[in-house]
C-alpha cells in the first residue's frame, strides 16, 4: 500500500493561562487511533467537521508533525524521520495559505522551486508547460502573486506542488472561496492528473461536490476518530442525506405537493424549498414541478458535509 496509517494518534499539550501566574495544562487528542491505507493511484476524500483532525493527519503524513503513537508510512518512508526525502515524492496544497512568494511574479516562484528541489531541467520544463496549459496560467506567469485572484493563485499553487513530479498530492480545501468556473477548472485538472499520471490524491474539503466529482472513496473523521470509510453513495445512505430544490414561483402559493418525491421544508413568499433524496436525480422532480406549477426559476443545493455527518449521527442515535 502506498499510504499506511496504523493506529496513529496525535496528542497536543495545551497550556492555558487561567489567572495571574496560573496556568492550566490540558491534553487535546486531535487524532485518536486512526487506521487506513491508500493504494497507489487512488483518489480519496478526507472529510469531517471543523476541528475533526484532518489537518493534523495531513501534517503527520507530510512529516511536519510527529505522531504521538502508531505507525505511519508513505511510499515506504516514515514521514517525520525522513521529511526531506519524502518531500521529493509528495506535493501539498493548502487552500488557505500559499507556498508562492507573495511579491514575486509567479514564474520566479517556479524557478526557485526548480532549484530548491533540484528538478532536472527537462522534467521541470515539461511539467511547467503542461501545468501552464491545463491550468491556463499562460498570461499570469509575469504577474506578482499578490495581484492574482484567489482562483488564479490556487491554480498557481497547484502547479507549484506538481513541478517535481510528486507521486502523491495532498490537497487541503483546494476549492475554498473559488467561483463555480474556477472550481470546475481545478476539478478537471485533478481528474486528468490522476487519470494520466496515476498520481495518488488525498483531498480534504468542505465541499461535497469536490468529493462527488473526484473521489470514489471517502473517509470521514470526527473528534479524531474515523467514523466512515467507503463509497460516497454509502455515506449518503448512512446519513440519509437530502438535496434541496429551490423553486421560485410566479406568486405566493400553498406548499407544493408532489407526493413522496419531495417535501417542502420552507416557504418564503413565492420561493419554496423542497428536500429530496441526495442519491436521486433532480430531473423528474423538476419536470413535475414545472408541469404543475407556474415556475419562474430554480436551483439545486447540495447538502454540506456537516449536514450529512450530523444526520449520520442522528440516524445512529435512533437506530
Ligand atoms: N498545534 C496545536 N496545538 C494544540 N492543539 C491543536 C494544534 N493543532 C490542532 N490542534 C487541535 O486539534 C484538533 C484538530 O485540529 P485540526 O486542525 O486537525 O482539525 P481540522 O479537521 O483540520 O479542522 P478544520 O476543518 O477546521 O481545518 C482541534 O481541536 C485543534 O484545536
Ligand 1, residue 48: give the atom nearest the CA. Answer: 21
Question: Domain locations in the chain?
Answer: 3-237, 242-302
CA 220 to chain centroid: 12
pTM: 0.78
Confidence of residue 283 (pLDDT cuts 50, 70, 90): very high
Q: pLDDT tens digits for 239-263?
A: 567 788 999 999 999 999 988 889 8
Average pLDDT over residues 101-125: 93
304 vs 130, more confident: 130
Share of the chain above pLDDT 70, in %: 93
pLDDT attached to residue 311: 67
Contact 248, 298 (CB under 8 A): yes
Q: Is the CB of 305 under 6 A from ligand 1?
A: no
Phi and psi angles of residue 178, each rounded to the nearest 5 degrees, phi first:
-90, 150
Average pLDDT over residues 133-151: 92
- State the CATH class of domain 3-237: alpha beta
Closest residue CA from atom 23 of ligand 1: 51
Q: Is the CB of 51 under 6 A from ligand 1?
A: yes
In angstroms, rounded to a whole number, what is the distance separating the alpha carbons of residues 9 and 6?
Answer: 9
Q: If you measure from the C-alpha of residue 30 to the centroid of ligand 1, how many angstroms do you get, rounded to a whole number?
A: 6
pLDDT attached to residue 113: 92
User: With 70 as the cut, is the pLDDT of residue 198 above it?
Assistant: yes
User: With 70 as the cut, is the pLDDT of residue 3 above it?
Assistant: yes
Q: pLDDT tens digits for 206-245?
A: 887 888 889 989 999 988 999 889 987 777 666 567 788 9
Ligand 1, residue 52: give the atom nearest the CA. Answer: 21
Q: Is the CB of 56 under 6 A from ligand 1?
A: yes
Closest residue CA from atom 25 of ligand 1: 50
pLDDT attached to residue 285: 92
Among 256, 253, 238, CA closest to 303: 238
Confidence of residue 29 (pLDDT cuts 50, 70, 90): very high
pLDDT attached to residue 77: 96
Contact 258, 274 (CB under 8 A): yes
Supply the DSSP string of the chain, one letter for each residue.
Answer: --EEEEEEEEEEEEEEEEETTEEEEEEEEEEEEEEEEE-TT-EEEEE-STTSSHHHHHHHHHTSS--SEEEEEETTB-TTTSHHHHHTTEEEEETTS--S-TTSBHHHHHHHHHHHTT--HHHHHHHHHHHHHHTT-GGGTTSBGGGS-HHHHHHHHHHHHHTT--SEEEEESTTTT--HHHHHHHHHHHHHHHHHH--EEEEE-S-HHHHHHH-SEEEEEETTEEEEEEEHHHHHHHHT-EEEEEEEESS--SPP--GGG-EEEEEETTEEEEEEETTS-SHHHHHHHHHHS-EEEEEEEPPPHHHHHHHHHHHHHH-
pLDDT attached to residue 195: 92
User: With 70 as the cut, is the pLDDT of residue 193 above it?
Assistant: yes
Q: For the chain, give the mean pLDDT.
A: 89
Amino acid at each position: 500500500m502506498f499510504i499506511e496509517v496504523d493506529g496513529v494518534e496525535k496528542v497536543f499539550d495545551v497550556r492555558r493561562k487561567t489567572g495571574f501566574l496560573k496556568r492550566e495544562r490540558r491534553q487535546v487528542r486531535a487524532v485518536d487511533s486512526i487506521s487506513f491505507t491508500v493504494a497507489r493511484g487512488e483518489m480519496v476524500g478526507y472529510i469531517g467537521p471543523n476541528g475533526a483532525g484532518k489537518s493534523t493527519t495531513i501534517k503527520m503524513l507530510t512529516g511536519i508533525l510527529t505522531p504521538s503513537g502508531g505507525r505511519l508510512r508513505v511510499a515506504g518512508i516514515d514521514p517525520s524521520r525522513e521529511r526531506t526525502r519524502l518531500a521529493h515524492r509528495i506535493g501539498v496544497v493548502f487552500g488557505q495559505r500559499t507556498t508562492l512568494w507573495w511579491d514575486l511574479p509567479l514564474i520566479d516562484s517556479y524557478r526557485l522551486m526548480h532549484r530548491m528541489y533540484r528538478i532536472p531541467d527537462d522534467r521541470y520544463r515539461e511539467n511547467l508547460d503542461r501545468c501552464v496549459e491545463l491550468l491556463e496560467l499562460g498570461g499570469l506567469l509575469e504577474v506578482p502573486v499578490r495581484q492574482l485572484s484567489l482562483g488564479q493563485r490556487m491554480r498557481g499553487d497547484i502547479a507549484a506542488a506538481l513541478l517535481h513530479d510528486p507521486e502523491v498530492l495532498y490537497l487541503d480545501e483546494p476549492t475554498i472561496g473559488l467561483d463555480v468556473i474556477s472550481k470546475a477548472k481545478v476539478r478537471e485538472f485533478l481528474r486528468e492528473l490522476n487519470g494520466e499520471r496515476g498520481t495518488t490524491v488525498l483531498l480534504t474539503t468542505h465541499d461535497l461536490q469536490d468529493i462527488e466529482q473526484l473521489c470514489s472513496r471517502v473517509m470521514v473523521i470526527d473528534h479524531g476518530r474515523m467514523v466512515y470509510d467507503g463509497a460516497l453513495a454509502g455515506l449518503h445512505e448512512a446519513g440519509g442525506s437530502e438535496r434541496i430544490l429551490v423553486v421560485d414561483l410566479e406568486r405566493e402559493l400553498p406548499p407544493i405537493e408532489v407526493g413522496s418525491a419531495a417535501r417542502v421544508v420552507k416557504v418564503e413568499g413565492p420561493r419554496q424549498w423542497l428536500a429530496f433524496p441526495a442519491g436521486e436525480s433532480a430531473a423528474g422532480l423538476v419536470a413535475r414541478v414545472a408541469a404543475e406549477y407556474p415556475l419562474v426559476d430554480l436551483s439545486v443545493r447540495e447538502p454540506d458535509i456537516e449536514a450529512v455527518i450530523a444526520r449520520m449521527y442522528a440516524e445512529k442515535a435512533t437506530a
